Structure 1
Amino acid sequence: MGEPPPYPQIEPTTFDLIAVGTGLAECIVAAAASASGKTVLHLDTNPFYGSHYSSLSVPELTSFLISNSTASSPPSSTSTTTDIPDYSIVNLTTQPVYSDVEISCFYPELLEENLRKFNLDLCGPRVLFCADKSIDLMLKSGASNYVEFKSIDASFVGDENGKLWNVPDSRAAIFKDKSLTLMEKNQLMRFFKLVQGHLDATVAAGSSGNDGIGNGNDEEEGKTKISDEDLERPFVEYLSKMRLPPKIRSIILYAIAMADYDQDDMGVCQNLLKTKDGIDRLALYQSSVGRFTNASGALIYPIYGQGELPQAFSRRSAVKGCIHVLRMPVTALLMEKDSGSYKGVRLASGQDIFSQKLVLDPSFTLASPSASPSDLLHESFNFLSTRDVKGKVARGICITRNSLKPDTSNLLVVYPPRSLYPEQITSIRALQISGNLAVCPLGMFVLYLSALCDDAIQGKRLLNAAMNALLTFPDSVNSESSSTVQSENTEEKPSVIWSGLYIQEMSTVLHVLNFCLLLLASHVCTHAPARAHAHLWGLLELMFRTCGLVLSYVLVVSS
């Protein structure tokens, strides 16, 4: 008896949609298509769900980072199921997403006992606002039935001395905060009241159908609603106009509005926040506080890690008939010789699968320009060779034996620009998750760090500055006396068991030849079908932008 084939044969061979890669975006689109009654085939080279949004054990994470830090191509097909003379083959390969990977283990014996008990996020830190539209998407689509969240207990702003200051994000938190003076509390309360008054006036104007023009209460409305001129000016200028001190401005800009770049330096700020956008972010934050009874703060995080999000949508699509096949590389695209239009994909098994639409993992690219047999074919898929690089993000993961705050398990720390050293032009975020969220053994903690950067040198410097302020590395402790002096001035820093640092490329790959695929998502939208595609992309962007860090968009190809 012969050996079984290395890859299973897939039946049927024709689908409405093929999705390659089980990242968050691909899973959302596949779930929307399946729920709309379309036939969907979902493929992934990896033996797990999530692609670049996965939560992995320590060995799996290390292997994935190293294997995706060098260019590689899917296994070439060994045979062809059928001879199709009308089609041409465009070979595919993948571009590296990660670089400058550094893995360090300081207590191998301790780690060895728990290697498989970790669920480490590839794209951390990533949290969700309770009132985020992505949460509404999960509720409307039914994906919320397959994932459970817990609250992030507290948020802090850090400084170079290792001190963590509470983020006063509500009236109760402002009154309880002992680090604020009475004047600062009054200033912050007045500002939050002004923002709430503006939001109430905007909602009232919208519900009355007059867009805030002439409702008989112009004088009263003018006292609460922020002027159009102020809404268009930079948010940092408006905060200064309101005479808020630098400390309060920093908390609002970077810990509540989640700005990435130094808003005070127009020369280096790549994303200057306008007042209208800043007010929208404050509204999202405030409406998130208290939305769910089991979430005390504004932020929540999924139990078992961020990898549960794409899996939730995968389960939703499976219920509706989507076929999932893991460990199945796609080696090439099938194209019509005459028109150069997409017709299907060729798998590593040699089988050809056809579909009307295709969603590709953004890391795919053409194997080489010469891979296309004609200029027409190469032109049709030239977008696969070009990606809109949006910069880089430096990511760090540390496993520790103690919490950053003894009385708090799950917390977010933000280091505003220039809070650690003068050349720091971007915010640094650190998210600590404990064992009660099933991402690590009880008694241990996982700390995710991230910062936008232009290159690896700058990124590593940002991460190391935050890590040195928060943590103790065994090889950096020279004597007991140095540790004693440190503990006298600040709380004792947690000791690092294991750490991983890497640089991740951020890029946008978006090519839509036909809006029909996006209209399949109308079942999860409250909008009319004609607007569903824009609404879906808005939801995807919100999911990617959480904590201000974008990985990539999905690539859509259709005939």
Structure 2
Amino acid sequence: MDDTLSYPPIDPINFDLIIVGTGLPESILASAASAAGKTVLHLDPNPFYGAHFSSLPLQDLAAFLQSQSPSPPPSSAPSDGNLTAVELTTRRMYSDVEITSHSPEPLEHSRQFNLDLAGPRVLFCADSAVDLMLKSGTSQYMEFKSVDASFVCGGDGKLVTVPDSRSAIFKDTSLGLAEKTRLSSFFKLVEGHLKSDDERKISAEDLESPFVAFLSKMRLPPKIQWIILYALAMADYDQSDTDVCKDVLKTRDGINRLALYHSSVGRFSNALGALIYPIYGQGELPQGFCRRAAVKGCLYVLRMPVNALLLDKFSGSYKGVKVASGQELFSHQMVLGPSFIVPSPLLKSSPDSLQDVRGKVARGICITKTSVKPGVSNCLVIYPPKSLYPEQVTSVRVLQIGSSLAGCPSGMFVLYLSALCDDANQGKKSLHAAVNAIFSIPISGTPDHGSTDESENTQVKPTLLWSALYIQEMTTCSFESISSTPMPDGSLNYNDILDATKELFHKMFPDEEFFPETTFSEPEDGELDESPNGESLDS
């Protein structure tokens, strides 16, 4: 029996843009190009939307991580007429996959999990990704709920609440009166600077200085600096150690991050804090943009591998693709997901320039039946540098999601962990340290009932039921005769990925607007909504 009979024929065969992979950047590009009136074909070899940004059932996620292996080197084959077919290859984006099961219970409910492949990830209520969803109408296809609370691990190893506003400062019982006064004064200075047109509140010299130096200049106590740097400004590296800090946060950027956090609090009437999370997982975001693209005429075909690129025999320029059915499809522009390797004849410069590897991020997914903080279902926990062990050089971020967000069965919690790293050893060390700090880990393979920290008799560690730890490559977005989208980065939100995607769109279509303003029908209850009388998130 001919295997190609299982693949549907695609009609038409000529497009302005062909995109392979339905990750978030690719999905945004498909939606933006379709909104601009371009004909778009969106393909994905997977049977699901989202690619590296997807949310998957437990067993499917484990299979996806372990199946990501590089394909053989490309070879050229003759095609019809003036075209040459060059096989398209892939490379491994995940390594050091470590999956451990301490209980059969999670596997028994595998299909009830929606696990984020690129977690932990949230959206700030006032960030550019939320604005884009409102502008494009994609918010009509998604529902969100707020993250209930944020915590940061202090120097004593205890988790303290992050005060995200001046009012929260005075309600925080963990801060002394002097600390509250200094932190409130600092927030007042920041608010005054942001409202000042001439920026006289904070000097230009201070704005270009390291943020940690500015905080010291403001005579803020180390505990307050710790909270501002890592729990509000979300710095990745140890800002006080110039030998290990690869990304020094300037005051200007730190102030902007505080402004984003501050403006996110209270934007939506029923969001408790600054952060929100999509019901059913982060994979809903690419699906939402794909739905919007389909409404605008984009053609979608899943389970359709692309086997080769079609090149002009004489100029070597890109012309189209050959899919698994053997059908040849043509387009003016081409975008590939980050795991694909483009043959060197198509690159204007060196073969490595298309996909620039810019480091690694260690990720972890843990399942338990007890919240990391009693009485709190959905929360963010920050472990700043050196809070877990002396050699820890980057923050470890942990996002706990409960069943109210449809990420796991009732009575369970999913915790996502991440840390930037130079190599797998460094990344796994950070993840294991965080896992050991959070969980009681069964030794015999049978879950126990948790362990109590003798120094804090009221705190019982959750018992770890299942975990997946892995190292993910990070790549940048690039534009050549064939463009490539980025892998998920180590940030908590999508702003950097969105900026790179928007830049790529303008390079491909310099005369087109990135999502022109349009009018949409009224969204249903539970969807992101922006109205003249105020903003609401969900019911």
TM over 0.5: yes
Distance change >3 Å, CA 74–CA 56, structure 1 → 2: farther
Query: Is 1:126 paired with 2:121?
Result: yes
Q: CA deviation at 1:84?
A: 2.6
- Corresponding position of 1:104: 100
Q: CA deviation at 1:232?
A: 0.6
Query: Is 1:264 paired with 2:240?
Result: yes
Query: Is 1:86 paired with 2:88?
Result: no
- Corresponding position of 1:36: 36
CA distance in 2, matches of 1:478, 1:245: 45
Q: Which of 149, 157, 164 in structure 1 is aligned with 2:152?
A: 157
Query: Is 1:351 paired with 2:297?
Result: no
Q: CA deviation at 1:508?
A: 1.2
- Corresponding position of 1:533: none
Distance change >3 Å, CA 104–CA 294, structure 1 → 2: same
Alignment of structure 1 residues 15-414 onto 2, 5 Å: 15-68=15-68, 70-72=69-71, 84-108=80-104, 110-159=105-154, 163-201=158-196, 205=197, 212=198, 222=200, 225-366=201-342, 377=345, 379-380=347-348, 383=351, 387-414=355-382
Q: CA deviation at 1:90?
A: 1.9
- Corresponding position of 1:433: 401
CA distance in 2, matches of 1:337, 1:479: 62
Q: CA deviation at 1:171?
A: 1.7
Which structure 2 residue ranges, 5 or more long, are not aligned? 510-539
Counterpart of 1:493, as a letter, is K
The answer to whether the 8 Å contact 2:338/2:487 transfers is: no
Q: What secondary structure, in the 3-state scheme, does the structure 2 residue paired with 1:463 have?
A: helix
Q: Deviations over 1:224-272 (max 9, x none)?
A: x101010010000000000001110010000000000010011111110
CA distance in 1, matches of 2:445, 2:408: 25
Alignment of structure 1 residues 390-539 onto 2, 5 Å: 390-475=358-443, 483-484=451-452, 486=454, 488-489=456-457, 491-512=459-480
- Corresponding position of 2:534: none
The answer to whether the 8 Å contact 1:507/1:551 transfers is: no
CA distance in 1, matches of 2:341, 2:11: 27
The answer to whether the 8 Å contact 1:366/1:384 transfers is: no
Q: CA deviation at 1:506?
A: 0.8
Instruction: Give the TM-score, by structure 2 length.
Output: 0.87
Q: Deviations over 1:184-240 (max 9, x none)?
A: 000000000000000011xxx2xxxxxx2xxxxxxxx74xx1010100100000000
- Corresponding position of 1:525: none
Counterpart of 1:24, as a letter, is L
The answer to whether the 8 Å contact 1:263/1:269 transfers is: yes
Q: CA deviation at 1:52?
A: 0.1
Q: CA deviation at 1:352?
A: 0.5
Distance change >3 Å, CA 276–CA 549, structure 1 → 2: closer
Is 240-249 or 543-552 further displaced after alignment?
543-552
CA distance in 2, matches of 1:545, 1:349: 38
Counterpart of 1:100, as a letter, is D
The answer to whether the 8 Å contact 1:400/1:496 transfers is: yes
Q: CA deviation at 1:541?
A: 11
Distance change >3 Å, CA 329–CA 316, structure 1 → 2: same
Counterpart of 2:159, as a letter, is L
The answer to whether the 8 Å contact 1:76/1:331 transfers is: no
Q: Deviations over 1:28-60 (max 9, x none)?
A: 010011111111100000000000000000110
CA distance in 1, matches of 2:449, 2:296: 63
Q: Considering only aligned residues, what root-mean-square deviation do their CA atoms show, in Å?
A: 3.1
Distance change >3 Å, CA 73–CA 148, structure 1 → 2: farther
Which structure 1 residue ranges, 5 or more long, are not aligned? 206-211, 213-220, 370-376, 519-536
Distance change >3 Å, CA 3–CA 310, structure 1 → 2: closer
Counterpart of 1:72, as a letter, is S
CA distance in 1, matches of 2:449, 2:456: 11
Distance change >3 Å, CA 551–CA 424, structure 1 → 2: farther
Q: Which has the larger radius of gyration?
A: 1
Q: What secondary structure, in the 3-state scheme, does the structure 1 residue paired with 2:326 have?
A: coil
CA distance in 2, matches of 1:394, 1:271: 17
Counterpart of 1:300, as a letter, is I
Higher helix share: 1
Q: Deviations over 1:426-462 (max 9, x none)?
A: 0000000000000101110000000000111111110
Q: CA deviation at 1:482?
A: 9.8
Q: Deviations over 1:315-373 (max 9, x none)?
A: 00011111100000111111112222211111111111000111110110147x6xxxx
Q: Deviations over 1:352-406 (max 9, x none)?
A: 1000111110110147x6xxxxxxx355585467531111100000000011111
CA distance in 2, matches of 1:512, 1:93: 17
Q: What secondary structure, in the 3-state scheme, does the structure 2 residue paired with 1:104 have?
A: strand
- Corresponding position of 2:521: none
Q: CA deviation at 1:3?
A: 8.4
Q: What secondary structure, in the 3-state scheme, does the structure 2 residue paired with 1:475 have?
A: coil
Q: CA deviation at 1:542?
A: 11
Q: CA deviation at 1:513?
A: 5.0
The answer to whether the 8 Å contact 1:17/1:356 transfers is: yes
Percent identity reads 61
CA distance in 1, matches of 2:4, 2:189: 69
The answer to whether the 8 Å contact 1:26/1:361 transfers is: yes
Q: What secondary structure, in the 3-state scheme, does the structure 1 residue paired with 2:451 have?
A: helix
Q: Deviations over 1:467-526 (max 9, x none)?
A: 111111111899999935548545101111110000001111412459xx99xxxxxxxx
Q: What secondary structure, in the 3-state scheme, does the structure 2 residue paired with 1:5 have?
A: helix
Distance change >3 Å, CA 425–CA 112, structure 1 → 2: closer
CA distance in 2, matches of 1:323, 1:165: 49
Counterpart of 1:88, as a letter, is T
Instruction: Give the TM-score, by structure 1 length.
Output: 0.84
